[in-house]
Structure 1
């Protein structure tokens, strides 16, 4: 909005006194002041309204106008209600500093001028901002990849005075128009975002409103949020609409950053598939290099799965990328996400992942997340690391914590040994020992597999096994005898007990 537009508004009846050559200046906002030097409250582009209360003698006009000019004010509108005029010394000071001066009629209140100007500014800026947001959405959709969110948030902050930030559910600031206000912790905002029953939500302390980015399509624990200064319930309909538009822009930008369908994402998926299928190092190492990882580095494998079905596989993949300290290579195996990332030998990845995931536990109270972390290995040992991480993840699934991370150091030695055995060998070993029992159970409902597992868990104690299964000791003896007959093994021998123990772990 330009100063010249004010002179055409019949409800205001403003008149230009001096500075006609500056009437094309743009008005960014309107401020009323009675201070002799209001420069500390000005940032440039304002229309300043004053009743000249600050004027004690003619020399004050020079001080006042000089302060306005230094602050970059667009124009001055004035009227001395008591004197009934605009003093010549103020006119001369405005002429000297090339400051456009408008006369406000006695019968027009400054509040009326303010309300009129603000209304026109808001309407014009809303239209301009909506157009910019629409253009940016097109850019995000593919016309010009990589524009990012910062320009849009800066525009919102500059033209509407509404500072905004995009923050993940873990408290990472993705983009922002300004630095976060003092005392505002993004981790605390994320905690409120995950736990509040309804969104949008206003935090009274820092006076910040929180909005979800994609509540209809994304679980909150995997979603991003937009944090805006101010109370959203007091906003106009236009500003609320712009917030919804901004959320759509952020959702599109996040979708653009998802690399599942990119060349990099497909290479990662193929690499994980080859490792799980026990491909040779001559196949794995070249693909590892294609993903951008250094074959000379040391690596950790991470396996993650959601419990309760709250996270879809794509969301799990996104969340795993968010919680890991460096950009990983990630692939999906049904409902399980597997990641590989380079780390130093002394890096405690499991501890770091657990600490990060604790911030997400409030958003996982109805389900859970199980994560397994392998030991640090060379590139040629990735298959064992992936198997180790998957075993650790299965162990984590058996625990009750909403978020559970199991590291390689919690795995028994036999698990580490099994992780390095080829799949076909493990399958043959398991089938040879347990399939006769499974088949018998299916036909006779004899529960031999459960009896065998309980017997081994109790170190071959007939009495404790019978108590745990709520059976007579003789019934347990009969079942164990049937197991030995079907498998040709002797459960009094340590070697046969170990074989059954390992076969059950492989099942």
Structure 2
């Protein structure tokens, strides 16, 4: 289909305009798009002529300006060319004007006396009108095709396939996690470059390619208006025509529908998987629900199951994309797994047919993969014992989480551990019902909290600091900024309210376990 674009050539090809090309300008000059027409008789029209406008003149300026100066002014304004209107007094184009245009490489044509400038303007309006109608029809047609591709499950690749029917552009779609959603033929490091660009506020219009050059960026927004992905055209923005920019921008807007859909599905899957942990921790009461939920994830609940818990980084929240990286790790190995993201940790439940020791090797591979993806963040993994079936998952789950927390508190040593490696009282507490732990903690710490609330004291903080400093009086007093005698008076009051004497080991253990149970409950 012929594309309607206003060019000098399009006007020359209209026989009714009786245009005669006298100076062709540079190669392809007459085929370049023209912004509009500008009629002028000023000796220096450069302040008023817009870039790529086609200038029309009868030469009335010749009484006050030379042809070379007039053409130089058109060149400064970046005009597309010149049409000289012949008159009875100037029946031919002046030789000095033809020479000036030829020397400057500016296209020049003459129009006969019988054709007014208004006829040229009307012809230009018809061409531009046809172009706008064609662009609108293309926009609607492509929009329908994009909607069809998404509704039929074509995803991001389907969107690019529709776009490539009209434009031969090198395109890649990458989300803010650095995952390739569609496209190929780019440097292996490009996905991370794209993710870093999308994380910037505001995101750039172009990014540097790892192997040189520039890529233009078209943002894909999710349901909440956040930038969730980008369409990257591996060409600078300046090299794209307005039509190409509009087409890619339209595709990016349709991709936002796909991203929103995926976000909704991920939210449902996240809720679906997080409920599994609640079911497991509830024990026998919800054993049947655990079996059904695992089957929904394609996991045999009657088979042996492994549980690992990992934490990435030392911040209060997981790095963005860490859970996705874990999912990708198991997906690449063809292992069906339930990946549950908490506020800090990530729990993975998956079938396991090898011996328990082999889980350590797998966990170390996960650590290596996370290290490659998040080189600035430390990853630790706690491994629970292998469960014989879904009914036996509670203890391995609790164990893996507690091992993970112990490893996280250690600044050195292995990043992967099992119950045998880091056995601790917290795991024993974790096996008890949370309601029981809550009651135990409240029975001992409740009187301290009541006293603190009524009298403005800091008995609970004093106890936590004292036990945290292994019962060292001077160190604790210094940490609390009080005299040792003041600390002794506080400890005596704590003993009076709780019925526990910190000088007796069994009483100190009770107080310590109450604080630990409080954290777990």
TM-score where L is the length of structure 1: 0.62
Pick which of 320-329 and 286-295 moved more. Answer: 320-329
8 Å CA contact 2:407, 2:417 repeated in 1: no
8 Å CA contact 1:373, 1:406 repeated in 2: yes
Q: Give how far 1:191 is off.
A: 3.1
Aligned residues: 386
Q: Give how far 1:472 is off.
A: 0.8
Q: Distance in 2 between matches of 1:395 and 1:213?
A: 41
Pick which of 346-355 and 288-297 moved more. Answer: 346-355
Q: Distance in 1 between matches of 2:271 and 2:217?
A: 35
Output one character per residue of 1:361-395: Cα deviation in whole Å (capped at 9) or x when no partner.
7xxxxxxx998754144244433454456657878
The alignment status of 1:128 with 2:138, answered yes or no, reads yes
Q: Give how far 1:476 is off.
A: 0.9
CA 1:192 to 1:277, structure 2 compared with 1: closer, same or farther past 3 Å? same
**Larger gyration radius, structure 1 or structure 2:** 2
Structure 1 residue aligned with 2:161:
154
Q: Distance in 2 between matches of 1:393 and 1:169?
A: 28
Structure 2 residue aligned with 1:189:
194
The secondary structure found in structure 2 opposite 1:293 is: coil
8 Å CA contact 2:163, 2:248 repeated in 1: no
Q: Give how far 1:267 is off.
A: 4.1
Q: Distance in 2 between matches of 1:130 and 1:169?
A: 29
Q: Give how far 1:150 is off.
A: 1.5
Output one character per residue of 1:204-223: Cα deviation in whole Å (capped at 9) or x when no partner.
62321233321783655xx2
The alignment status of 1:293 with 2:299, answered yes or no, reads yes
Q: Which runs of 5+ in 2 are unaligned?
A: 16-26, 29-108, 111-126, 332-336, 353-358
Q: Distance in 1 between matches of 2:239 and 2:316?
A: 37
Output one character per residue of 1:390-419: Cα deviation in whole Å (capped at 9) or x when no partner.
65787899999xxxx986569662222222
The secondary structure found in structure 1 opposite 2:224 is: coil
Q: Give how far 1:276 is off.
A: 4.1
CA 1:249 to 1:269, structure 2 compared with 1: closer, same or farther past 3 Å? same
Pick which of 381-390 and 227-236 moved more. Answer: 381-390
The alignment status of 1:348 with 2:363, answered yes or no, reads yes
**Mapping 1:26-425, distance limit 5 Å:** 127-128=137-138, 131-137=141-147, 140=150, 143-144=151-152, 146-157=153-164, 159-176=166-183, 179-182=184-187, 185-195=190-200, 197-203=202-208, 205-214=212-221, 217=224, 219=226, 223-258=228-263, 260=265, 267-278=272-283, 279-295=285-301, 296-302=303-309, 320-324=323-327, 325-326=329-330, 328-329=337-338, 339-342=347-350, 345=359, 346-348=361-363, 351-352=367-368, 354-355=370-371, 358=374, 373-376=381-384, 377-378=386-387, 379-387=390-398, 413-425=424-436
8 Å CA contact 2:207, 2:217 repeated in 1: yes
Q: Distance in 2 between matches of 1:332 and 1:493?
A: 42
8 Å CA contact 1:374, 1:385 repeated in 2: no
Q: RMSD of the alignment, in Å? A: 4.7
Q: Distance in 1 between matches of 2:202 and 2:263?
A: 28
Q: Give how far 1:433 is off.
A: 1.6
Q: Distance in 2 between matches of 1:415 and 1:444?
A: 32
Output one character per residue of 1:90-133: Cα deviation in whole Å (capped at 9) or x when no partner.
xxxxxxxxxxxxxxxxx99xxxxxxxx9x999985785365234
Output one character per residue of 1:448-469: Cα deviation in whole Å (capped at 9) or x when no partner.
1111111112211111111111
Q: Give how far 1:304 is off.
A: 7.2
TM-score where L is the length of structure 2: 0.60
Q: Distance in 2 between matches of 1:206 and 1:413?
A: 55
The secondary structure found in structure 2 opposite 1:209 is: strand
Q: Give how far 1:265 is off.
A: 5.9
The secondary structure found in structure 2 opposite 1:300 is: strand
Structure 2 residue aligned with 1:455:
466
Q: Give how far 1:173 is off.
A: 1.2
Q: Give how far 1:501 is off.
A: 1.8
The secondary structure found in structure 2 opposite 1:227 is: strand
The secondary structure found in structure 2 opposite 1:181 is: coil
Q: Distance in 1 between matches of 2:139 and 2:313?
A: 40
Structure 2 residue aligned with 1:500:
511
Output one character per residue of 1:252-296: Cα deviation in whole Å (capped at 9) or x when no partner.
212323464898666434423323444443442232223322222
The secondary structure found in structure 2 opposite 1:159 is: coil
Structure 2 residue aligned with 1:483:
494
8 Å CA contact 1:166, 1:224 repeated in 2: yes
8 Å CA contact 1:437, 1:449 repeated in 2: yes
